[in-house]
Amino acid sequence: MYSQIDSNKRNSVILMMIFIIIIISIGYGLEFLWGDGSYMIVWGAIIISLLMTSVSYFKGDKIALASTGAKEINKTSDIYLYRIVENLCITAGTPMPKVYIIEDMAINAFATGRKPEFSSIAITRGAIEKLENEELEGVIAHELSHIKNYDIRFMMLVAVLVGSIALISNIFIRSQFYGRRGNNKSHPAFLIIGIVLAILSPLIAEIIKLAISRKREYLADASGSLLTRYPEGLASALEKISQENQPMKKPSTATAHLFISNPFKNKSKFHNLFSTHPPIQDRIGKLRGMV
């Protein structure tokens, strides 16, 4: 389990470094194309993307919960679910998050919040009714691990970088059409470079974002299993999710990466290539390999 956790942390850092290299490369491209002062535009694009994501960072949890129709519970309204979360938090040594129920019969759950002190966990009605106690514990431990590992904050940083790359790439290509027409560097070759960069950079950034999201899922699986000391519980829950393959009633692409399983119906292997989640069978295999 510890090896799996270390491997996922290491791979996530490598992917983040690739992100930074892409942004720096685009910055040098703008410098070469425009000459002096282009770095101000690069920083401007980054600042704009930061402002765009700041609302999501500070209010994203409330938006995500509202979009799923989640309703908060307490110790008296649903003692069974509340006690499971409470006991796992005591074991993990983390603050008790707010607990929500989503009235949806698909088996799923998600956690949100920028840090453990301001976190929430939401579980579908289907997960509560269809999963055995050990399976539900595995799912909740997975979500608590996302909170403990600061995955929400990490993914917000990734979103900022993806937005920055998209904005800077857009600036790069627009400079060829609306930029300094007297610039001796404005050669047709640079127009081709700009078009290729504008198309490929956001695409590559999105692929890296998906890769990081998948690594965080593997990390939460390993961390959650370490918390419960019973990997089979989560593996069995994921197996039920895979066999049922039931999409949520109101899935959203904006919040899909938060859930323990893709809230959309998995249709094909090609569809899985562009999913925010790794294939469930791979996750089950890794979990059962920890025993």
The tokens describing 122, both together, are 């939401």
DSSP state of 116: G
- C-alpha to C-alpha distance for 64 and 42, rounded to whole angstroms: 31
137 part of the active site: no
Which among 135, 143, 217, 232 is annotated as catalytic? 143
- Backbone torsion region of residue 279, taken as left when φ is above 0, otherwise alpha when ψ lies between -120 and 50, otherwise beta: beta
Say which amino acid occupies 261.
Answer: S
Q: Tell me how crowded residue 69 is: count the other CB atoms within 10 A of its CB.
A: 14
- C-alpha to C-alpha distance for 214 and 216, rounded to whole angstroms: 5
DSSP state of 256: G
Strand 71-73, strand 98-102: pairing: antiparallel
- C-alpha to C-alpha distance for 65 and 231, rounded to whole angstroms: 28
Strand 98-102, strand 120-124: pairing: parallel
Residues annotated as part of the active site: 143
